[in-house]
Structures are given as structure tokens and as C-alpha cells.
Amino acid sequence: MSYTTPRKLLLLSLALGLVLLLAPAAHARKATVHFFVIPASIPAEQLNKLNDFLITTAGGFTASRSTGGAMDSLGRDYSPENLSYIVSAPKNVAREIRGYLQKNCDQKSVFMLVWEAERVEK
């Protein structure tokens, strides 16, 4: 029969405590990034509501004005004004964002890229 010494029990308890302490921090570093583009011509009231929705749904966003072409614009002088959004969330919320844009911003189709990422801090 084998007996565990108090010192081994203490070390085992400390190791288990350290694992439990670090596990949530490691898990919190994972994120899903959503990138989508919408026309800049969307009314300001709708944009404000979209921004509020993104804050509520994902915790925030980054948006910037951009110019660019469309899929069929090769060889044409075509550069519409767009808004590019980047949204990072702890889980994939693409379905919610796409649904919101289609229903509340009159976007029949939504260009969106989604990928898994790791949050880098300090």
C-alpha cells in the first residue's frame, strides 16, 4: 500500500490550482473575427442602430471608410464608397450579423469573411 506524503499532496494541489487558474485565460484568448463591407450610403440612423447591435451582440467593432471595386468591376472605373467592419467576438456571430444586415439595412447579400483567431495581449 502506498501513502502520499503531505508534501506531495500539497504540490499536487498547487499544480491543480495553477491549471484551473490558467485554463480560463487560455480559453479567453480565442476569438472569431468577422469582416464585412456595407455601402456608406446607408442612412446614419441605421448605422447607429447597427453599431448598437454590434456592441450588444459582440462587444464592439472597428469600422473604416474604404473605396474599392466590385466583383464585376475589372477594367472599369468603379470605386464605390463602402464601410468596412471588423468584429471580434468570443464565438461565431456571423449568422446574427448577416440576418441583421439583411433585415434592418436592406442588404440582400452580405459580403463577409469569418475566421478563427487568437487574441494577443501585451
pLDDT digits (tens, 9 = 90+) for 10-29: 555 555 555 555 555 555 57
**Phi, psi for 68 (deg, rounded to 5):** -175, 180
Spelled out in words, what is the top-level CATH class assigned to the domain 29-118? alpha beta
**What are the CA-CA distances from residue 8 to residues 14, 74, 113, 116 (Å)?**
10, 70, 50, 40
Helices then strands, each counted (H, E), the chain: 3, 4
Euclidean distance between CA atoms 80 and 75, whole angstroms: 15
Per residue in 59-70, pLDDT tens?
999 998 876 655
Average pLDDT estimate for 80-99? 92
DSSP 91: S
